[in-house]
Structure 1
Amino acid sequence: MDIIDSFILAATAPTGEASGTLGGLLLFITIAIAFSFLCSMLEAGLLSTPSTYIETKAQDGNRAGRWMQMAKENVDEPITAILTLNTFAHTVGAAGAGAQAVGVFGSQWAAVITFVLTLLILIFSEIIPKTVGAVYWKQLFTFNAYTIRFLVLGLYPAVWAFKAMTRLITPEEKLPTITRAEIEMMAHISAEEGSLNENENRILKNLLHLDKVQVGDIMTPRTVVLAFQQDMTVGQVLETSKQRMLPYSRIPVYGENIDDITGFILRYDVLKYAAADRHDMRLKDFLRPIHAVPETLVLTKAMDVLMQNQQHILLVIDEYGGTAGVITLEDVMESLLGAEITDESDLVEDLRKLAQQRYERQQTILAATELKPTANGARPTQEVDSHQPASQSTQPIEHEQPEPIPVDNEADT
């Protein structure tokens, strides 16, 4: 029974059974609307306060934050307390107001008084308080926290009884408070409102999608990887790279062929041995181990491997165990930032695009060769093994490899 029903019952009672005064009528209406106003405002404020704001306040040691955190985690308790007080105020206020109205105006004015009271309740105990609670939740945060805490403790017997009943219909599995889609939308809204700039918004969205991107999607393909044969000496490396001055800080090293990657070398080590006049030092004598990951591994897992092994480069292998390419910490950061990271020593910005251009150019040449007849009228064909690297003796496989993010190479292990 709500306030209108109670009022109608009281207002339609026989005249002789009710008496009252105008002051008593106004008192009951004021009390009913005041308590209803408070309950509606508390409910709207509780449900409108973001969980992130509450968590921030709680972590800062704010008492109101801790109490509001408890209310959010057990939202059925404050809701039960608020609705209990609201219903009690409606019922008692309506019964008292109805009895007073009959004594003051008579039962013939019941319909008019009911209409006026309905408007008062709609405006002052629903629309205005819920609007205030939803719009000014931050300003009312401390007041709401203390008041809700007081109501829960004061009405705990009723809260406990109703909570026991609601457990029968509420799921045991606790659903996440905020989903990934909601975080992404919050970032978008924050960017529109100016709380985040476009770069921050883009980074947050990319971060949320890292677990959907595979290593094979961003790796440097094998066709554009610069690698040296492990029996080459420091002098040979410098001789073959003298025009480029070793622009790459980490370079893979292979044994028999490109599918036999045995590790990687640091540019710092090569230059260190060269400065010590040890040009006859072989690469296999100071190469460092490289960890391999499948090309189907997601970026979040690849980052874990990089961090756990304190490395900036990983070997990417295909489903047959052959070399598919390499991935660096720079590649992961580019996926996070949504932009290419280049410096003055990079010869090519987008190596995946370069690999695609080389492949298309190769296919065009092969197609032209197959269509062009020879002197005897035959059309020659040429078989190309895409997995067979160039010269495997002591010659490097010349491709453009992106340089990882510059670091203090002396600290590399």
Structure 2
Amino acid sequence: MLGQHSTHPTMLTGKPAATASRLYPWLVFALSFGLLLSDYMSRQVLNAVFPLLKAEWALTDTELGALGGIVALMVGLLTFPLSILADRWGRVKSLTLMAALWSLATLGCALANNFGEMFIARLCVGIGEAAYGSVGIAVVLSVFPRHLRASLSSAFIAGGAFGSVLGMAAGGTLSAHFGWRWAFAGMAIFGLVLVVIYRALITEPRLKAQRLALGEDAPTESHRESLALRPLLSALFSARSILCAYVGSALQLLVMGALLAWMPSYLSRYYGMATDRAGMTAAAFVLAAGVGMVACGALTDWVARRSPARKWLMAIAYSLACCALLAVAFRLPAGAAQLALIAAGMVLVGGTAGPASAVVANLTHPAIHATAFATLTLANNLLGLAPGPFVTGVLADRIGLLGALQWIPLTGLLAAACFIAGRRYYTADLQRLEHQRNAQQAAN
């Protein structure tokens, strides 16, 4: 498989290889996962208070969708340049700075007095969160063995769903008892506490030592040269299969982004639920999505353990099954059967995240993984998470929220088409890139 090296750490450093720690990688994962929870708690708490803001400020669904989509839009626009800076400046310093910014911006949301002020605060949340997902997953994958990539990618990305659960549930409860401003303030305080802990325990030298102990490439001059713009762009976009992974992943996440943003409002309007109950119920659906991400990633690793190309088949199956379940669900009358089918669809809605991330990791060099995942994040946000809430809001103003949610799941058909195309080119792209790498090593 592309990216697997036989180079021993002793050859890279000229010193005896250190023993890889068993506990430190899990500490890295736990704290990085915790910050990802904070990221999405700050992002999705807004959805729990949609009904309150709509009533207090007389907002349209399009304006509510804009407040939700602006964060993802900024993430999409800035994730690539900020991730390149993180690869150069230092990933740990970058992560802590990002988390501090989005936490302070979330505190600014609590102080907003109108739509304009809230929009600016949410924009700043997006700037802070822009590169966290890509840089965070690069840090996590760098300290674990490679055969765990799909499982770890799915588990880490699932933190977005779990953070959304906590943001919606806690936001709904806090707003019901103390007002919507305290919902934002609570998320901000949680994030700032985690920033202090992360900065104290995670350091670049320890990450580097763990990578060397695992036999990963040490930073070399050739790796730094690989970060020059032209070869970097070639590595990120030259393979047709990786382009299919970017677009397919994004289109599937458009469905997820729409449901994350609008489920509390849907439950409030069509089931008559109060804000706290709607937030808790929507959080249960998002929890199903998070569990599904982890389960789908683990299942993908198991099915593809001897044939990596099967990851594409799993992504295709997840997209098509999710589309069918949600398309049927939103055409049923409100009731237990509809909720059961929505829950089943939510289990699969993020299932393609693990396979797509694993494909991107396999098709790029570890030295540029943060930038590669930034590119995936850019696609996920610009083509998926940003337009999802906004397009749903625009449709809802015209055909009602139920009508909008009947059409949105059909995007999964386009995602499946992209994964089908990616599978066709994957093996040839792997072989070509491996040949290029061997030629470069021989030349050096």
Give the TM interval when normalised to the shorter protein: under 0.3
Choose 1 or 2 for highest CA Rg: 1
TM-score after normalising by structure 2: 0.24
Looking at both structures, which has the greater relative contact order when contacts are Cα pairs under 8 Å and sequence separation is at least 6? 2
Q: Which has the higher strand share?
A: 1
TM-score after normalising by structure 1: 0.26
